[in-house]
Structure 1
Amino acid sequence: MYPRVILKGTLIKKSQQKRRTSPSNYKERFFVLDTQDLTYSERRPGKKPVQKGSIELARIKCVEIVCSDIPIPCSNKYPFQVFHDSYYLYIFAPDNDCRQRWVRALKEETKCNRLAVKYHPNFWMDGRWRCCHQTEKLAAGCHEYDPMGFASKKPLPKTPDPERRLSNPDLGKVVVVAIQNYIPHDASDLTLKKDQEYVLTDSSHPEWWAVQDDRGNTGFVPNIYIAEKSGSNFNRFVWYNKNITRARAEELLMQEGKEGAFMVRDSRQLGVYTVSVYTKAPGSNGEKNPRVKHYQIKDTEIEPFRFYLAEKYLFSTIPELIQYHQHNAAGLITRLRHPVTLGKDSSQNSFDVSQGEWEVEPAELVLGEELGSGEFGMVLQGTWRDRKVAVKMLREGAMSEEDFKEEAMVVTKLSHPKLVQLYGVCTQHSPICLVFEFMEHGCLSDYLRATRGHLSPDTLLGMCLDISEGMAYLESSNFIHRDLAARNCLVSKDNEVKVSDFGMARFVLDDQYTSSQGSKFPVKWSSPEVIKYSKFSSKSDVWSFGVLMWEVYSEGRLPYESRSNAEVVESLNAGLRLLKPRQTPSAVHQLMEWCWKEKPEDRPSFAVLLHELASLSDL
Structure 2
Amino acid sequence: MFPRVILNGTMIKKSQQKKIISPCNYKERFFVLDTQELKYSECRPGKKPVIKGCIRLCSIKCVEIVFTDLPIPCSFKYPFQVFHDNHFLYIFAPDNDCRLRWVQALKEETKNNTLVEKYHPQFWMGGKWRCCHLSNKLAKGCHAYDPLGYASKKPLPGIPDAEAELHGALQKTVIALQNYTPLTNKELALQKDKVYTLVDTFQADWWKVQDEMGNTGLVPSTHVIENSGNNFERFEWYSKNMTREEAEDILIKEAKEGAFMVRNSRQTGVYTVSVFTKASSSNGEKHPGVKHYQIRQPKTGEPTFYLAEKYLFHSIPELIHYHQHNAAGLITRLRHPVTQAGGCSQAIAGLSQDEWEVDPEELDFGLEVGRGQFGLVLQGRWREKKVALKIIKQECMSNEEFKEEARIMMRLCHSKLVQLYGVCTQRSPMCLVLEFMDNGCLSDYLRNKKGALSQNAMLEMCLDVSEGMAYLEMSNFIHRDLAARNCLVSNEYVVKLSDFGMTRYVLDDQYTSSLCSKFPVKWSAPEVIRYCKFSSKSDIWSFGVLMWEVYTEGRIPYENRTNAEVVESLNAGMRLLKPKLAPESVYMLMEWCWKEKPVDRPSFALLLHELSSLSYL
TM-score by length of 2: 0.64
* Equivalent-residue separation in structure 2 for 1:154 and 1:283 (angstroms): 59
* Equivalent-residue separation in structure 1 for 2:452 and 2:211 (angstroms): 57
* Equivalent-residue separation in structure 1 for 2:341 and 2:420 (angstroms): 35
For the residue of structure 1 that corresponds to 2:390, the secondary structure is strand
For the residue of structure 2 that corresponds to 1:541, the secondary structure is helix
408-417 vs 80-89, which moves further? 80-89
* Equivalent in the alignment of 1:429: 427
* Equivalent-residue separation in structure 1 for 2:350 and 2:214 (angstroms): 35
* Equivalent in the alignment of 1:315: 312
* Equivalent-residue separation in structure 2 for 1:375 and 1:434 (angstroms): 14
Post-superposition offset of 1:319: 3.8
For residues 293 and 378 of structure 1, do their structure 2 counterparts lie closer, same or farther at Cα, with a shift above 3 Å needed? farther
Unaligned runs of 5+ in 2: 1-5, 19-26, 38-56, 134-140, 145-153, 506-510
* Equivalent in the alignment of 2:508: none
Post-superposition offset of 1:409: 3.8
* Equivalent-residue separation in structure 1 for 2:189 and 2:389 (angstroms): 42
Confirm or deny: 8 A CA contact 1:354 1:427 kept in the other structure.
Answer: no
**Which amino acid in 2 is paired with 1:315?**
L
**Which amino acid in 1 is paired with 2:584?**
S
**Which amino acid in 2 is paired with 1:401?**
N
* Equivalent in the alignment of 1:87: 88
For the residue of structure 2 that corresponds to 1:441, the secondary structure is coil
* Equivalent-residue separation in structure 2 for 1:347 and 1:255 (angstroms): 15
Confirm or deny: 8 A CA contact 1:119 1:143 kept in the other structure.
Answer: no
- From 431, 440, 463, the equivalent of 2:461 is 463
**Which amino acid in 1 is paired with 2:32?**
S
* Equivalent in the alignment of 2:335: 337
Higher relative contact order (CA 8 A, sep 6+): 2
Where do 1:2-41 residues align within 5 Å? 24-25=32-33
* Equivalent-residue separation in structure 2 for 1:457 and 1:249 (angstroms): 61
356-365 vs 373-382, which moves further? 356-365
Q: Deviations over 1:284-306 (max 9, x none)?
A: 77677654344455666579998
Confirm or deny: 8 A CA contact 2:305 2:319 kept in the other structure.
Answer: yes
* Equivalent-residue separation in structure 1 for 2:546 and 2:157 (angstroms): 36
428-437 vs 286-295, which moves further? 286-295
Confirm or deny: 8 A CA contact 1:14 1:89 kept in the other structure.
Answer: no
* Equivalent in the alignment of 2:391: 393
18-27 vs 553-562, which moves further? 18-27
Post-superposition offset of 1:373: 2.3
- From 591, 594, 601, the equivalent of 1:593 is 591
* Equivalent-residue separation in structure 2 for 1:569 and 1:581 (angstroms): 21
* Equivalent in the alignment of 1:505: 503
For residues 201 and 354 of structure 1, do their structure 2 counterparts lie closer, same or farther at Cα, with a shift above 3 Å needed? closer
Q: Deviations over 1:329-349 (max 9, x none)?
A: 455444322111316996497
* Equivalent-residue separation in structure 1 for 2:239 and 2:362 (angstroms): 44
For residues 112 and 609 of structure 1, do their structure 2 counterparts lie closer, same or farther at Cα, with a shift above 3 Å needed? farther
* Equivalent-residue separation in structure 1 for 2:515 and 2:346 (angstroms): 36
Q: Deviations over 1:235-290 (max 9, x none)?
A: 34332334323221122223334332212334456665443223456677767765
Q: Deviations over 1:89-137 (max 9, x none)?
A: 99999999x98xx9xxx9xxx9996845x449xxxxxxxxxxxxxxx99
**Which amino acid in 1 is paired with 2:326?**
N
Post-superposition offset of 1:323: 2.6
* Equivalent-residue separation in structure 2 for 1:418 and 1:282 (angstroms): 41
Post-superposition offset of 1:419: 1.3
TM-score by length of 1: 0.64
For residues 381 and 247 of structure 1, do their structure 2 counterparts lie closer, same or farther at Cα, with a shift above 3 Å needed? same
For residues 527 and 141 of structure 1, do their structure 2 counterparts lie closer, same or farther at Cα, with a shift above 3 Å needed? farther
Post-superposition offset of 1:403: 3.8
Where do 1:486-565 residues align within 5 Å? 486-502=484-500, 504-506=502-504, 515=513, 518=516, 520-530=518-528, 536-561=534-559
For residues 80 and 253 of structure 1, do their structure 2 counterparts lie closer, same or farther at Cα, with a shift above 3 Å needed? same
591-600 vs 555-564, which moves further? 555-564
Post-superposition offset of 1:529: 5.0
Post-superposition offset of 1:490: 0.8
Post-superposition offset of 1:392: 0.7
The alignment-based identity, stated in percent, is 55
* Equivalent-residue separation in structure 2 for 1:63 and 1:473 (angstroms): 18
Confirm or deny: 8 A CA contact 1:372 1:378 kept in the other structure.
Answer: yes
For the residue of structure 2 that corresponds to 1:25, the secondary structure is strand
* Equivalent-residue separation in structure 1 for 2:282 and 2:310 (angstroms): 27
Post-superposition offset of 1:532: 5.9
For residues 28 and 304 of structure 1, do their structure 2 counterparts lie closer, same or farther at Cα, with a shift above 3 Å needed? farther
For residues 272 and 535 of structure 1, do their structure 2 counterparts lie closer, same or farther at Cα, with a shift above 3 Å needed? farther
Confirm or deny: 8 A CA contact 1:86 1:138 kept in the other structure.
Answer: no
* Equivalent-residue separation in structure 2 for 1:493 and 1:281 (angstroms): 47
Q: Deviations over 1:472-524 (max 9, x none)?
A: 233344433333222211123444311112364349xxxxx984875622344
526-535 vs 386-395, which moves further? 526-535
RMSD: 5.9
Where do 1:35-114 residues align within 5 Å? 52=58, 55=61, 86-87=87-88
Q: Deviations over 1:190-220 (max 9, x none)?
A: 99786x9x8x9979757467999xxxx9999
- From 445, 448, 452, the equivalent of 2:446 is 448
* Equivalent-residue separation in structure 2 for 1:154 and 1:256 (angstroms): 46
* Equivalent in the alignment of 2:602: 604
**Which amino acid in 2 is paired with 1:580?**
K
